[in-house]
Amino acid sequence: MKHNQLIIETDIPAKMRDGVTLYADIYRPADEGKYPVLLTRLPYSKSYGLHFIRPNILAEQGYIVIVQDVRGRYKSEGEFVPYIAEVDDGYDTIEWAANLPYSNGDVGMFGLSYYGYTQILAAMSGNKHLKAMAPIMAQNSMTDVFNDHDGALELGMWETWNLESMLPNMLTRKYNTSEELEQAVNALMKNLDNLDSLYKFKPYKDWPAIGREEMPYFSELLHYEPTHNHWQKIDAKSNYDKISVPGLHVAGWYDCFLDKTIANFQNGHCRKLGDKLVIGPWTHANFTQMIGDRDFGMAATKWGEANMHARHLEWFNHWLKQEPLPEMPAVNYFVMGLNDWKTSETWPPKNAVTTPLYFKSGAVSAEFTPPTTAYEAKFSYDPENPVPSNGGGTLHKELHADGPRDQKHLEMREDILCYSTAPLEEALEITGEIQVKLWAKTDAPNTDFTAKLVDVFPDGTAFNLADGIIRANKQHGDSVQNNINQYTIDLWATSNLFKKGHQIRIEISSSNFPRFDPNPNTGDSFINSTKSQIAHQTIYHSPEYPSHILLPIIR
Protein backbone atom coordinates (compact mmCIF):
# COMPACT_ATOMS: atom_id res chain seq x y z
CA MET A 1 0.00 0.00 0.00
CA LYS A 2 1.35 3.38 -1.00
CA HIS A 3 0.86 6.25 1.43
CA ASN A 4 0.30 9.38 -0.61
CA GLN A 5 0.48 11.79 2.32
CA LEU A 6 3.52 12.03 4.57
CA ILE A 7 4.37 13.84 7.78
CA ILE A 8 7.88 15.28 7.76
CA GLU A 9 9.32 16.44 11.08
CA THR A 10 12.72 18.10 11.34
CA ASP A 11 15.25 18.44 14.16
CA ILE A 12 13.67 15.81 16.41
CA PRO A 13 15.88 15.26 19.50
CA ALA A 14 17.10 11.94 20.87
CA LYS A 15 19.11 11.97 24.10
CA MET A 16 22.03 9.56 24.37
CA ARG A 17 23.11 7.80 27.57
CA ASP A 18 25.70 10.49 28.39
CA GLY A 19 23.23 13.36 28.01
CA VAL A 20 24.30 14.45 24.50
CA THR A 21 21.35 15.16 22.20
CA LEU A 22 21.38 14.04 18.57
CA TYR A 23 18.91 15.42 16.05
CA ALA A 24 17.03 13.69 13.24
CA ASP A 25 14.49 14.32 10.52
CA ILE A 26 11.56 11.90 10.42
CA TYR A 27 9.48 10.97 7.38
CA ARG A 28 6.36 8.87 8.08
CA PRO A 29 2.93 8.06 6.66
CA ALA A 30 0.17 10.47 7.67
CA ASP A 31 -2.22 7.53 8.04
CA GLU A 32 -2.75 6.37 11.61
CA GLY A 33 -1.08 3.17 12.68
CA LYS A 34 2.26 1.78 13.78
CA TYR A 35 5.02 1.17 11.24
CA PRO A 36 8.50 -0.34 11.17
CA VAL A 37 11.45 2.03 11.24
CA LEU A 38 14.20 2.52 8.66
CA LEU A 39 17.09 4.39 10.27
CA THR A 40 20.24 5.92 8.84
CA ARG A 41 22.92 7.78 10.79
CA LEU A 42 25.38 9.90 8.81
CA PRO A 43 27.97 12.69 9.16
CA TYR A 44 27.11 14.40 5.85
CA SER A 45 23.98 16.32 6.98
CA LYS A 46 20.56 14.80 7.44
CA SER A 47 19.17 17.49 5.17
CA TYR A 48 21.47 17.00 2.17
CA GLY A 49 23.59 13.88 2.59
CA LEU A 50 21.32 11.14 1.18
CA HIS A 51 22.41 11.24 -2.44
CA PHE A 52 21.69 7.61 -3.39
CA ILE A 53 18.28 6.98 -1.84
CA ARG A 54 15.35 9.24 -0.97
CA PRO A 55 13.62 8.92 2.43
CA ASN A 56 10.21 9.95 1.09
CA ILE A 57 10.12 7.01 -1.33
CA LEU A 58 10.74 4.57 1.52
CA ALA A 59 8.20 6.33 3.75
CA GLU A 60 5.52 6.14 1.05
CA GLN A 61 5.78 2.36 1.27
CA GLY A 62 4.82 2.25 4.93
CA TYR A 63 7.98 3.03 6.87
CA ILE A 64 9.05 5.55 9.45
CA VAL A 65 12.29 6.83 7.95
CA ILE A 66 14.69 8.48 10.40
CA VAL A 67 17.75 10.37 9.15
CA GLN A 68 20.04 11.39 12.00
CA ASP A 69 23.15 13.56 12.17
CA VAL A 70 25.79 11.61 14.10
CA ARG A 71 27.45 13.05 17.18
CA GLY A 72 29.30 16.30 16.56
CA ARG A 73 27.97 16.82 13.03
CA TYR A 74 25.58 19.50 11.75
CA LYS A 75 22.59 19.77 14.15
CA SER A 76 23.74 17.13 16.66
CA GLU A 77 25.60 17.96 19.86
CA GLY A 78 28.93 16.55 21.01
CA GLU A 79 32.43 16.12 19.62
CA PHE A 80 33.03 14.30 16.35
CA VAL A 81 35.73 11.67 16.17
CA PRO A 82 35.20 9.18 13.32
CA TYR A 83 33.11 6.18 14.44
CA ILE A 84 34.21 6.27 18.09
CA ALA A 85 30.68 6.87 19.45
CA GLU A 86 28.72 4.90 16.86
CA VAL A 87 28.31 1.63 18.80
CA ASP A 88 26.70 3.23 21.86
CA ASP A 89 24.92 6.00 19.94
CA GLY A 90 23.65 3.39 17.48
CA TYR A 91 22.18 1.31 20.31
CA ASP A 92 20.59 4.33 22.00
CA THR A 93 19.12 5.69 18.77
CA ILE A 94 17.61 2.31 17.83
CA GLU A 95 16.08 2.08 21.30
CA TRP A 96 14.65 5.59 20.98
CA ALA A 97 13.29 4.91 17.48
CA ALA A 98 11.69 1.61 18.48
CA ASN A 99 9.76 3.32 21.27
CA LEU A 100 8.35 6.21 19.27
CA PRO A 101 4.53 6.24 19.59
CA TYR A 102 4.00 5.45 15.89
CA SER A 103 6.69 2.72 15.73
CA ASN A 104 5.89 -0.98 15.89
CA GLY A 105 9.26 -1.65 17.54
CA ASP A 106 11.06 -3.23 14.55
CA VAL A 107 14.02 -1.33 13.10
CA GLY A 108 16.06 -1.70 9.92
CA MET A 109 19.10 0.37 8.96
CA PHE A 110 20.34 1.57 5.59
CA GLY A 111 23.13 3.74 4.21
CA LEU A 112 26.35 3.92 2.25
CA SER A 113 30.03 4.34 3.19
CA TYR A 114 30.28 6.01 6.63
CA TYR A 115 26.58 5.41 7.16
CA GLY A 116 27.08 1.87 5.98
CA TYR A 117 29.53 1.29 8.82
CA THR A 118 27.27 2.97 11.39
CA GLN A 119 24.94 0.03 10.71
CA ILE A 120 27.64 -2.57 11.30
CA LEU A 121 28.67 -0.88 14.55
CA ALA A 122 25.06 -0.57 15.69
CA ALA A 123 24.59 -4.27 14.96
CA MET A 124 27.62 -4.96 17.19
CA SER A 125 25.76 -3.25 20.04
CA GLY A 126 23.27 -6.13 20.20
CA ASN A 127 20.08 -4.06 20.29
CA LYS A 128 17.24 -6.57 19.84
CA HIS A 129 15.01 -4.11 17.98
CA LEU A 130 17.40 -4.14 15.00
CA LYS A 131 16.10 -6.79 12.59
CA ALA A 132 17.96 -6.16 9.31
CA MET A 133 20.41 -3.81 7.64
CA ALA A 134 21.64 -2.81 4.19
CA PRO A 135 25.27 -1.62 4.49
CA ILE A 136 26.30 -0.39 1.04
CA MET A 137 30.04 -0.14 0.30
CA ALA A 138 30.89 -0.31 4.01
CA GLN A 139 34.07 -1.15 5.86
CA ASN A 140 34.69 -3.51 8.78
CA SER A 141 37.42 -1.60 10.59
CA MET A 142 39.01 1.83 10.73
CA THR A 143 42.66 0.75 10.62
CA ASP A 144 42.38 -1.29 7.42
CA VAL A 145 41.11 1.74 5.49
CA PHE A 146 43.38 4.23 7.20
CA ASN A 147 46.79 3.40 8.65
CA ASP A 148 47.12 -0.35 8.10
CA HIS A 149 46.34 -1.25 4.52
CA ASP A 150 48.79 -4.14 4.75
CA GLY A 151 51.09 -1.77 6.61
CA ALA A 152 50.57 1.33 4.47
CA LEU A 153 48.65 4.53 5.17
CA GLU A 154 45.80 5.33 2.76
CA LEU A 155 47.10 8.87 2.48
CA GLY A 156 44.90 10.19 -0.31
CA MET A 157 41.70 8.92 1.26
CA TRP A 158 42.52 10.23 4.75
CA GLU A 159 43.57 13.69 3.64
CA THR A 160 40.85 14.15 1.01
CA TRP A 161 37.94 12.85 3.09
CA ASN A 162 38.79 14.99 6.08
CA LEU A 163 39.48 18.14 4.07
CA GLU A 164 36.62 17.85 1.62
CA SER A 165 33.88 16.11 3.60
CA MET A 166 34.57 16.68 7.29
CA LEU A 167 36.25 20.06 7.65
CA PRO A 168 33.55 22.39 6.22
CA ASN A 169 31.03 21.63 8.95
CA MET A 170 33.72 21.68 11.64
CA LEU A 171 34.63 25.20 10.57
CA THR A 172 31.03 26.39 10.89
CA ARG A 173 30.88 24.89 14.39
CA LYS A 174 34.19 26.44 15.47
CA TYR A 175 34.11 30.04 14.27
CA ASN A 176 31.70 32.45 15.94
CA THR A 177 31.91 35.41 13.58
CA SER A 178 31.10 35.57 9.88
CA GLU A 179 34.48 37.17 9.20
CA GLU A 180 36.42 34.35 10.87
CA LEU A 181 34.33 31.76 9.06
CA GLU A 182 34.77 33.46 5.69
CA GLN A 183 38.55 33.47 6.10
CA ALA A 184 38.57 29.80 7.07
CA VAL A 185 36.32 28.81 4.16
CA ASN A 186 38.46 30.76 1.69
CA ALA A 187 41.55 28.95 2.95
CA LEU A 188 39.71 25.63 2.61
CA MET A 189 38.76 26.38 -1.00
CA LYS A 190 42.35 27.26 -1.88
CA ASN A 191 43.58 24.06 -0.29
CA LEU A 192 41.07 21.98 -2.22
CA ASP A 193 42.28 23.64 -5.42
CA ASN A 194 45.87 22.74 -4.49
CA LEU A 195 45.34 19.24 -3.14
CA ASP A 196 47.75 17.73 -5.63
CA SER A 197 50.59 19.74 -4.13
CA LEU A 198 49.37 19.25 -0.57
CA TYR A 199 49.55 15.47 -0.92
CA LYS A 200 53.31 15.89 -1.23
CA PHE A 201 53.69 17.79 2.05
CA LYS A 202 55.48 15.97 4.85
CA PRO A 203 55.57 15.20 7.67
CA TYR A 204 51.89 14.38 7.54
CA LYS A 205 51.37 15.17 11.21
CA ASP A 206 51.96 18.85 10.39
CA TRP A 207 49.75 18.93 7.30
CA PRO A 208 48.99 22.65 6.86
CA ALA A 209 45.59 22.20 5.24
CA ILE A 210 43.92 21.25 8.54
CA GLY A 211 44.64 23.10 11.78
CA ARG A 212 44.93 21.12 14.98
CA GLU A 213 42.35 23.34 16.66
CA GLU A 214 39.95 22.90 13.75
CA MET A 215 40.16 19.08 13.69
CA PRO A 216 42.12 17.71 16.68
CA TYR A 217 41.73 14.05 15.74
CA PHE A 218 43.35 14.43 12.30
CA SER A 219 46.94 14.47 13.55
CA GLU A 220 46.27 12.56 16.77
CA LEU A 221 44.99 9.43 15.06
CA LEU A 222 48.06 9.33 12.80
CA HIS A 223 50.12 8.45 15.87
CA TYR A 224 47.92 5.57 17.03
CA GLU A 225 49.33 2.16 16.21
CA PRO A 226 46.86 -0.34 14.69
CA THR A 227 46.80 -2.16 18.04
CA HIS A 228 45.76 0.98 19.99
CA ASN A 229 42.67 0.54 22.16
CA HIS A 230 40.99 3.36 20.24
CA TRP A 231 40.65 1.14 17.17
CA GLN A 232 39.47 -1.97 19.03
CA LYS A 233 36.25 -0.23 20.10
CA ILE A 234 35.22 0.29 16.49
CA ASP A 235 36.61 -2.85 14.87
CA ALA A 236 33.87 -5.07 13.47
CA LYS A 237 36.00 -7.81 11.98
CA SER A 238 37.18 -8.90 15.43
CA ASN A 239 33.62 -8.63 16.78
CA TYR A 240 31.69 -10.40 14.04
CA ASP A 241 30.24 -12.84 16.58
CA LYS A 242 28.27 -9.93 18.07
CA ILE A 243 26.39 -9.31 14.80
CA SER A 244 23.18 -11.33 14.54
CA VAL A 245 21.10 -9.50 11.91
CA PRO A 246 21.05 -10.18 8.15
CA GLY A 247 22.61 -7.69 5.76
CA LEU A 248 22.17 -6.78 2.11
CA HIS A 249 25.72 -5.88 1.07
CA VAL A 250 26.52 -3.98 -2.14
CA ALA A 251 30.12 -3.62 -3.34
CA GLY A 252 32.01 -2.39 -6.39
CA TRP A 253 35.07 -3.86 -8.10
CA TYR A 254 36.67 -0.42 -7.90
CA ASP A 255 35.37 0.55 -4.48
CA CYS A 256 37.80 1.49 -1.72
CA PHE A 257 35.91 -0.82 0.69
CA LEU A 258 35.53 -3.83 -1.64
CA ASP A 259 37.25 -6.48 0.46
CA LYS A 260 35.61 -5.19 3.66
CA THR A 261 32.12 -5.40 2.16
CA ILE A 262 32.86 -8.95 1.01
CA ALA A 263 34.08 -9.86 4.50
CA ASN A 264 30.92 -8.40 6.06
CA PHE A 265 28.83 -10.60 3.78
CA GLN A 266 30.92 -13.70 4.41
CA ASN A 267 30.46 -13.32 8.16
CA GLY A 268 26.69 -13.37 7.93
CA HIS A 269 26.58 -15.94 5.14
CA CYS A 270 28.80 -18.43 6.97
CA ARG A 271 26.65 -18.03 10.06
CA LYS A 272 23.48 -18.50 7.99
CA LEU A 273 21.96 -15.15 8.93
CA GLY A 274 20.51 -14.68 5.43
CA ASP A 275 22.99 -12.17 4.05
CA LYS A 276 23.15 -11.31 0.34
CA LEU A 277 26.00 -9.81 -1.71
CA VAL A 278 25.93 -7.76 -4.91
CA ILE A 279 29.19 -6.72 -6.62
CA GLY A 280 29.03 -4.43 -9.63
CA PRO A 281 31.74 -2.76 -11.74
CA TRP A 282 31.32 0.45 -9.74
CA THR A 283 33.47 2.95 -7.90
CA HIS A 284 32.54 4.39 -4.52
CA ALA A 285 28.90 5.56 -4.57
CA ASN A 286 28.82 5.51 -8.38
CA PHE A 287 26.36 2.93 -9.74
CA THR A 288 26.31 4.01 -13.41
CA GLN A 289 27.49 2.12 -16.49
CA MET A 290 30.32 4.54 -17.32
CA ILE A 291 33.03 3.80 -14.77
CA GLY A 292 36.44 5.41 -15.21
CA ASP A 293 37.38 5.09 -18.86
CA ARG A 294 35.15 2.07 -19.56
CA ASP A 295 31.50 1.73 -20.51
CA PHE A 296 30.14 -1.47 -18.98
CA GLY A 297 26.79 -1.26 -20.76
CA MET A 298 23.22 -0.98 -19.54
CA ALA A 299 23.50 -4.25 -17.61
CA ALA A 300 25.72 -2.44 -15.10
CA THR A 301 22.70 -0.40 -13.96
CA LYS A 302 20.60 -3.49 -13.08
CA TRP A 303 21.51 -3.03 -9.43
CA GLY A 304 22.32 0.64 -9.79
CA GLU A 305 20.65 3.83 -8.69
CA ALA A 306 17.51 3.36 -10.78
CA ASN A 307 16.71 0.13 -8.93
CA MET A 308 18.23 0.93 -5.53
CA HIS A 309 14.89 1.79 -3.91
CA ALA A 310 13.21 -1.37 -5.21
CA ARG A 311 16.03 -3.57 -3.91
CA HIS A 312 15.92 -1.94 -0.49
CA LEU A 313 12.15 -2.26 -0.26
CA GLU A 314 12.22 -5.94 -1.23
CA TRP A 315 14.82 -6.56 1.46
CA PHE A 316 13.13 -4.67 4.26
CA ASN A 317 9.62 -5.80 3.33
CA HIS A 318 10.84 -9.34 3.93
CA TRP A 319 12.59 -8.80 7.25
CA LEU A 320 10.31 -6.13 8.72
CA LYS A 321 6.94 -6.98 7.15
CA GLN A 322 7.31 -10.75 6.67
CA GLU A 323 6.70 -10.53 2.93
CA PRO A 324 8.32 -13.13 0.63
CA LEU A 325 11.79 -12.19 -0.60
CA PRO A 326 12.01 -12.43 -4.40
CA GLU A 327 14.21 -15.34 -5.41
CA MET A 328 17.78 -14.13 -5.13
CA PRO A 329 21.01 -16.13 -5.01
CA ALA A 330 23.42 -15.44 -2.20
CA VAL A 331 25.80 -13.63 -4.58
CA ASN A 332 25.16 -11.58 -7.72
CA TYR A 333 28.35 -10.38 -9.42
CA PHE A 334 29.15 -8.49 -12.60
CA VAL A 335 31.74 -9.92 -14.98
CA MET A 336 33.62 -7.08 -16.66
CA GLY A 337 34.46 -7.75 -20.29
CA LEU A 338 31.44 -10.03 -20.55
CA ASN A 339 29.47 -7.03 -19.22
CA ASP A 340 26.78 -9.17 -17.68
CA TRP A 341 25.79 -10.65 -14.33
CA LYS A 342 26.38 -14.10 -12.90
CA THR A 343 25.26 -15.71 -9.66
CA SER A 344 26.74 -17.98 -7.04
CA GLU A 345 25.72 -19.47 -3.72
CA THR A 346 29.20 -18.86 -2.31
CA TRP A 347 31.97 -16.32 -2.48
CA PRO A 348 34.28 -16.99 -4.16
CA PRO A 349 32.36 -19.16 -6.65
CA LYS A 350 33.02 -22.87 -6.20
CA ASN A 351 34.07 -23.27 -9.84
CA ALA A 352 36.94 -20.78 -9.45
CA VAL A 353 40.21 -22.69 -9.58
CA THR A 354 43.19 -20.88 -8.07
CA THR A 355 45.92 -21.05 -10.71
CA PRO A 356 49.48 -19.63 -10.58
CA LEU A 357 50.67 -17.45 -13.45
CA TYR A 358 54.47 -17.28 -13.19
CA PHE A 359 56.75 -14.31 -13.87
CA LYS A 360 59.61 -14.87 -16.32
CA SER A 361 61.97 -12.94 -18.56
CA GLY A 362 61.55 -12.22 -22.24
CA ALA A 363 58.83 -10.82 -24.47
CA VAL A 364 56.32 -13.29 -23.05
CA SER A 365 57.05 -12.84 -19.37
CA ALA A 366 54.02 -14.46 -17.73
CA GLU A 367 53.15 -18.10 -18.29
CA PHE A 368 51.13 -20.80 -16.54
CA THR A 369 54.16 -23.14 -16.53
CA PRO A 370 56.72 -22.77 -13.71
CA PRO A 371 60.14 -21.25 -14.52
CA THR A 372 62.96 -23.63 -15.35
CA THR A 373 65.74 -21.04 -15.39
CA ALA A 374 66.78 -18.36 -12.92
CA TYR A 375 66.37 -14.66 -13.67
CA GLU A 376 66.50 -11.45 -11.65
CA ALA A 377 64.79 -8.17 -12.48
CA LYS A 378 65.91 -4.94 -10.83
CA PHE A 379 64.56 -1.43 -10.37
CA SER A 380 65.17 1.52 -8.09
CA TYR A 381 62.45 3.15 -6.03
CA ASP A 382 62.79 6.83 -5.14
CA PRO A 383 60.26 8.01 -2.50
CA GLU A 384 60.62 11.56 -3.83
CA ASN A 385 59.38 10.40 -7.24
CA PRO A 386 56.73 7.75 -6.51
CA VAL A 387 54.53 6.07 -9.12
CA PRO A 388 51.39 8.23 -9.49
CA SER A 389 48.03 6.67 -8.66
CA ASN A 390 46.01 6.14 -11.81
CA GLY A 391 42.54 4.79 -11.13
CA GLY A 392 41.66 1.90 -8.86
CA GLY A 393 39.75 1.87 -5.60
CA THR A 394 40.67 5.37 -4.55
CA LEU A 395 38.67 8.02 -2.72
CA HIS A 396 40.31 11.12 -4.15
CA LYS A 397 38.65 11.13 -7.50
CA GLU A 398 38.78 14.82 -8.41
CA LEU A 399 42.56 14.78 -8.85
CA HIS A 400 43.48 11.11 -9.21
CA ALA A 401 40.51 9.50 -10.87
CA ASP A 402 39.22 6.17 -9.67
CA GLY A 403 38.06 3.12 -11.60
CA PRO A 404 39.61 1.58 -14.72
CA ARG A 405 42.17 3.86 -16.39
CA ASP A 406 44.70 3.32 -19.16
CA GLN A 407 48.05 2.41 -17.59
CA LYS A 408 50.24 2.28 -20.68
CA HIS A 409 51.90 5.66 -20.12
CA LEU A 410 52.77 4.77 -16.53
CA GLU A 411 54.24 1.48 -17.70
CA MET A 412 57.01 3.38 -19.49
CA ARG A 413 58.53 4.29 -16.11
CA GLU A 414 61.74 2.51 -15.18
CA ASP A 415 60.46 1.73 -11.68
CA ILE A 416 57.58 -0.45 -12.94
CA LEU A 417 58.17 -4.04 -14.06
CA CYS A 418 55.58 -5.50 -16.44
CA TYR A 419 54.96 -9.22 -16.83
CA SER A 420 52.65 -10.07 -19.73
CA THR A 421 51.21 -13.21 -21.29
CA ALA A 422 51.11 -13.75 -25.01
CA PRO A 423 47.81 -12.69 -26.59
CA LEU A 424 45.23 -15.20 -25.38
CA GLU A 425 44.13 -17.82 -27.89
CA GLU A 426 40.78 -18.17 -26.16
CA ALA A 427 38.82 -16.12 -23.66
CA LEU A 428 39.56 -16.62 -19.97
CA GLU A 429 37.42 -15.54 -17.02
CA ILE A 430 38.84 -14.86 -13.59
CA THR A 431 36.46 -14.34 -10.67
CA GLY A 432 37.51 -14.35 -7.05
CA GLU A 433 40.35 -13.45 -4.72
CA ILE A 434 43.78 -12.53 -6.12
CA GLN A 435 47.24 -12.62 -4.56
CA VAL A 436 50.77 -12.10 -5.74
CA LYS A 437 53.52 -14.26 -4.26
CA LEU A 438 56.69 -12.24 -4.79
CA TRP A 439 60.25 -13.23 -3.96
CA ALA A 440 62.19 -10.00 -3.59
CA LYS A 441 65.16 -8.33 -1.93
CA THR A 442 65.79 -4.71 -1.01
CA ASP A 443 68.89 -2.92 0.25
CA ALA A 444 66.72 -0.64 2.43
CA PRO A 445 65.79 -1.15 6.10
CA ASN A 446 62.15 -1.09 5.05
CA THR A 447 60.29 -0.60 1.77
CA ASP A 448 57.06 -1.39 -0.07
CA PHE A 449 56.14 -3.69 -2.94
CA THR A 450 53.06 -3.08 -5.06
CA ALA A 451 51.24 -5.17 -7.64
CA LYS A 452 48.57 -4.41 -10.21
CA LEU A 453 46.54 -6.76 -12.43
CA VAL A 454 45.88 -5.31 -15.90
CA ASP A 455 43.77 -6.29 -18.93
CA VAL A 456 45.70 -5.34 -22.09
CA PHE A 457 43.53 -4.82 -25.15
CA PRO A 458 44.79 -5.60 -28.68
CA ASP A 459 45.34 -1.88 -29.35
CA GLY A 460 47.66 -1.63 -26.32
CA THR A 461 45.19 0.02 -23.97
CA ALA A 462 45.91 -1.37 -20.51
CA PHE A 463 43.06 -1.20 -17.99
CA ASN A 464 43.76 -1.84 -14.32
CA LEU A 465 41.57 -4.43 -12.60
CA ALA A 466 42.96 -4.79 -9.09
CA ASP A 467 45.97 -3.65 -7.10
CA GLY A 468 47.62 -4.02 -3.71
CA ILE A 469 50.59 -3.16 -1.53
CA ILE A 470 52.67 -4.70 1.23
CA ARG A 471 54.91 -2.83 3.63
CA ALA A 472 57.91 -5.11 3.91
CA ASN A 473 58.26 -5.07 7.70
CA LYS A 474 54.56 -5.90 8.05
CA GLN A 475 55.43 -9.45 6.96
CA HIS A 476 59.12 -9.76 7.82
CA GLY A 477 59.80 -7.42 10.73
CA ASP A 478 63.49 -6.72 11.12
CA SER A 479 64.49 -9.27 8.45
CA VAL A 480 63.91 -7.03 5.44
CA GLN A 481 67.23 -5.48 4.45
CA ASN A 482 69.40 -7.57 2.07
CA ASN A 483 67.31 -10.72 2.56
CA ILE A 484 65.39 -12.63 -0.11
CA ASN A 485 61.87 -12.82 1.29
CA GLN A 486 58.56 -14.02 -0.03
CA TYR A 487 55.97 -11.24 0.06
CA THR A 488 52.24 -11.85 -0.23
CA ILE A 489 50.46 -8.91 -1.87
CA ASP A 490 46.66 -8.98 -1.53
CA LEU A 491 44.93 -7.55 -4.60
CA TRP A 492 41.48 -8.18 -3.08
CA ALA A 493 39.14 -9.50 -5.81
CA THR A 494 37.76 -8.94 -9.28
CA SER A 495 35.71 -10.55 -12.01
CA ASN A 496 36.85 -10.05 -15.59
CA LEU A 497 36.65 -11.83 -18.91
CA PHE A 498 39.96 -11.53 -20.72
CA LYS A 499 38.80 -11.81 -24.29
CA LYS A 500 40.60 -13.66 -27.07
CA GLY A 501 43.58 -11.60 -28.23
CA HIS A 502 43.89 -9.76 -24.91
CA GLN A 503 46.89 -10.12 -22.60
CA ILE A 504 47.09 -10.59 -18.86
CA ARG A 505 49.64 -8.23 -17.35
CA ILE A 506 50.99 -7.80 -13.83
CA GLU A 507 52.80 -4.62 -12.84
CA ILE A 508 55.29 -4.77 -9.97
CA SER A 509 56.63 -1.63 -8.32
CA SER A 510 57.09 -0.03 -4.91
CA SER A 511 54.67 2.91 -4.79
CA ASN A 512 51.17 4.07 -5.67
CA PHE A 513 50.88 7.71 -4.60
CA PRO A 514 48.79 9.35 -3.20
CA ARG A 515 46.62 6.30 -2.72
CA PHE A 516 49.30 5.04 -0.32
CA ASP A 517 51.95 6.97 1.55
CA PRO A 518 55.37 6.48 -0.06
CA ASN A 519 57.73 4.43 2.06
CA PRO A 520 60.83 6.56 2.80
CA ASN A 521 62.94 3.36 2.87
CA THR A 522 64.64 4.50 6.07
CA GLY A 523 62.73 2.38 8.55
CA ASP A 524 60.75 5.47 9.58
CA SER A 525 57.57 7.02 8.16
CA PHE A 526 56.67 10.32 6.51
CA ILE A 527 54.10 10.75 9.29
CA ASN A 528 56.90 12.08 11.49
CA SER A 529 59.90 12.37 9.19
CA THR A 530 60.97 14.07 5.96
CA LYS A 531 64.09 11.99 5.34
CA SER A 532 64.23 9.34 2.62
CA GLN A 533 66.61 7.21 0.61
CA ILE A 534 66.47 5.33 -2.68
CA ALA A 535 65.83 1.58 -2.42
CA HIS A 536 67.30 -0.84 -4.93
CA GLN A 537 64.90 -3.72 -5.47
CA THR A 538 65.49 -7.18 -6.92
CA ILE A 539 62.64 -9.44 -8.04
CA TYR A 540 63.35 -13.16 -8.44
CA HIS A 541 61.79 -15.70 -10.79
CA SER A 542 63.36 -19.12 -10.74
CA PRO A 543 62.56 -22.72 -9.72
CA GLU A 544 63.70 -21.79 -6.20
CA TYR A 545 61.94 -18.40 -6.09
CA PRO A 546 58.94 -18.74 -8.45
CA SER A 547 57.30 -15.31 -8.21
CA HIS A 548 53.72 -15.50 -9.50
CA ILE A 549 50.16 -14.27 -9.27
CA LEU A 550 47.33 -16.54 -8.13
CA LEU A 551 44.36 -16.16 -10.45
CA PRO A 552 40.88 -17.60 -9.75
CA ILE A 553 40.11 -19.06 -13.18
CA ILE A 554 36.53 -20.11 -13.90
CA ARG A 555 36.48 -23.61 -15.30
Nearest to 438 by CA among 361, 380, 509: 509
530 neighbors 217 (Cβ within 8 angstroms): no
DSSP annotation string for 318-353: HHHH-PPPPP--SEEEEEBTTTEEEEESSSS-TTEE
Burial of 412 (0-12, 13-18, 19+ CB in 10 A): exposed
Catalytic residue of the set 69, 76, 92, 113? 113
Mapping DSSP onto H, E and C, the string for 384-442 reads CCCCECCCECCCCCCCCCCECCECCCHHHCCCCEEEECCCCCCCEEEEEEEEEEEEEEE
Catalytic residue of the set 230, 284, 312, 548? 284
User: How far is Cα 107 from Cα 94, in angstroms, rounded to an integer?
Assistant: 7
User: Is 524 an active-site residue?
Assistant: no
In total, the chain counts a number of residues equal to 555
DSSP annotation string for 81-140: -TTTTHHHHHHHHHHHHHTSTTEEEEEEEEEETHHHHHHHHHHHTT-TTEEEEEEES--S
Catalytic residue of the set 255, 406, 448, 517? 255
User: How far is Cα 543 from Cα 360, in angstroms, rounded to an integer?
Assistant: 11
423 neighbors 499 (Cβ within 8 angstroms): no
User: Is 284 an active-site residue?
Assistant: yes
Q: Which positions are catalytic?
A: 113, 255, 284
